[in-house]
Each structure stands twice: as structure tokens, then as C-alpha cells.
A = this chain, B = another copy of it.
Amino acid sequence: MIVGEVVGNIWATRKEEGLTGLKFLVVQPDSSFSSFSPSTFVAVDRIGAGVGDKVMVTNGSSASRIDNVQLPIDSLIIGIVDSVEVERGEGNG
């Protein structure tokens, strides 16, 4: 997963079936997590994230199954980040 910040919203009235009612947010990857998507991308949100939130995002077809239905989406916000703790450690944590 990558970490990013919600920076906006995107609307599309004409959509593929099954996508009506879903919320599409624009996410800017956190610079240290920018491996998969250095620039902004669109993710579906179902847990109430909003602009300014730091979020954890799953990409690829892992993101496509919602309530046991396969949807044509490839990016899903899976968590609103409380905190990230990055350190160097010796041996098993």
C-alpha cells in the first residue's frame, strides 16, 4: 500500500454500471511513499476520508472487490492514518 494525502474530489456523471454512488477522491502520494504513483491518482473512498486527510491506499485489482462485488476500480482508500513511525532497528522488532 502507499500513503498519500487527499487533495481533491472528482465527479463523473456518465460512468460504468455499478459505480453510481461511489465517492472518488484525488490523492497525492506522500513523497517518501511515491514509488507506485509519483503523481496524483484517483481512489474510491468508503470510510469518510476528506481533503487534507493522510490516507493508506491499496492499488490494483486488490481494490476492486467491494461488498463481495467485483467493480472496475483499481484504487481504494483503506485507512485514515493516525500515525507513521519510521526508525532504524537491530534485529527482530
Contact = CB atoms under 8 A, between A and B. Distances in A.
A43 B48 CA distance: 22
As for how many copies of this chain the complex holds, the number is 5
Given A10-B85, A35-B39, 17 more contacts: A1-B74, A1-B75, A2-B41, A2-B42, A8-B84, A8-B85, A11-B83, A12-B80, A12-B81, A19-B78, A35-B36, A42-B56, A50-B92, A52-B93, A53-B91, A58-B73, A62-B71
Given A61-B62, A62-B72, A40 B80 contact: no
Interface string A65-80: 1000011111111111
B12 A92 contact: no
Given A61-B60, A73-B78, A92 B10 contact: no
Contact of A16 (B6, B46, B90): B46
Contact of A64 (B16, B62, B88): B62
